[in-house]
Amino acid sequence: MAIELRNSFHGSSTVPNHHKWTISWLELSSDSIHSIRISIHPDSIKTMASRFADKAQEVAKEDIDKAKLLLNDAAKSGSYLYPIKGIFYFFSHPELWKPLRSRVVPYLTLYAGVLGSMFFFTYLPQLAIMAFVNGPFAIFTTAFLILSESSTITGLVSKNYLLQDAILDTFDGTLIARSQHEIVAEGREVKSRGDSIQRLGKALKRPLERFSVKELVRYVMYLPLNFIPVVGTVIFVLLRGRTRGESVHDRYFQLKGWPTTRKSKWLQDHKGAYTGQVVFRNSFLTSHKKSMGGGLFGTVATLLEMVPLASVLFSFTNTVGAALWAADIEAKENEIAKSTAPGLRETAKKVE
């Protein structure tokens, strides 16, 4: 195949704007010879570039407007404040300490085993990698990284086995403390006397999922991001936070008896608060979309639970924060239902 590119002028050579590009090539085959010539005028290229720029500007404006709406929704929800509210509420209500106290010793034993194994088997390999990135500070950054990894691994294991019942009691107990015993009664027996934890009876609905292989795989995939100083850790926290945000109210949705479709619709309608997603198009020529960003509640909760040793404490305070958020949602829905009920009854009477 032979290709030829020519720049030819039409009319006076003193008017360069009247030239055009001519692309010619010969295609040779065993049967025949094909000659093709295509002429492209510069004005056509300018027109295409202008259209592309206009389209890019239109899409960018659309995405920015959507991002503003989502961030505004997230800010109004105040979801990022609930992990902090959970800390204060937890310490101001000693009855909520009971589930944590019953699991402290087993948790610390598990954490010590994981931490010792991580330092023994992974410190030197990770140090070798971090040395290229952090130089002489690699000794300290690797140690901190292993502390964080050990805390996360212990959290994944303990939440699915060791702490699951205790966290369940903490969530339900917080709802009762906020006078939401009716919804708790949808998932377990509720006694009439005692504090918010003592009133918890036999659970009628257990957590939906004890162990998520997908969650473990996702964590392993994201883990190498921590090798990138600062930026990598930020991305890791945002990605983990988004995942956390999507599951923070699983127990609440279970108590409500919502099917998967309704749960998905609720999360979609309130994604600014739960996942903080900002939607961007990954192509100017298609309507396919890609989501990026970290959950506002989940991001704050993830940061707290990355604190070595204190992660188990923050697991419980984050649970309290999630329950406080659920209680506020429930209270608002009940208030709306009460305000609309008289109007519905009046309408029904008129129809009769």
In what helix (H) or strand (E) does residue 278 lie, and over which residues does it extend?
strand 278-281
pLDDT digits 0-9 by tens, 317-326: 999 999 999 9
- Local confidence band at 14 (pLDDT 50, 70, 90 cut-offs): very low
Query: Residue 179's closest CA among 341, 326, 337, 339?
Result: 326
Using N-to-C axis directions, what is the helix angle for 138-160 and 296-305, rounded to 10°?
A: 110
Q: Residue 301: phi, psi to the nearest 5? A: -65, -40
End-to-end CA distance of the chain: 85
pLDDT score for 296: 79
- In the chain, what are the domain boundaries? 2-40, 55-103+163-336
Distances (CA, A) of 15 to 6, 8, 21, 38, 165: 17, 12, 15, 22, 82
**351: β partners:** none
Higher-scoring residue by pLDDT: 145, 212: 145
Summarised one tens digit per residue, pLDDT across range 132-189 is 877 888 888 888 888 878 887 888 788 878 898 999 999 999 999 999 999 999 999 9
At 184, list the tokens.
């708790």
Mean pLDDT over residues 80-106, rounded?
A: 94
d(CA 17, CA 211): 68
Q: What is the percent of the chain with per-residue pLDDT over 90, rounded to a whole number? A: 29
pLDDT over threshold 80, residue 116: yes
Does the pLDDT value for residue 278 go beyond 50? no
Give the pLDDT score at 57: 65
Average pLDDT over residues 102-128: 92
Output the CA angle 105-324-250, nearest 5 degrees. 75
DSSP annotation of 33: E
Give 62's pLDDT tier (boundaries 50, 70, 90): low
- The mean pLDDT value for 202-219 works out to 71
Who wins on pLDDT, 161 or 38?
161
Mean pLDDT of the region 335-348:
65
User: What is the rounded average pLDDT for all residues in the chain?
Assistant: 76
Using a cut of 0.85, tell me whether the model's pTM lies above it: no
46 contacts: CB under 8 Å, gap ≥ 6: none
266/212: higher pLDDT: 266
What local confidence, expressed as pLDDT, does residue 254 receive?
Answer: 92
CB atoms closer than 10 angstroms to residue 213: 7
> What's the mean pLDDT in 72-84?
73
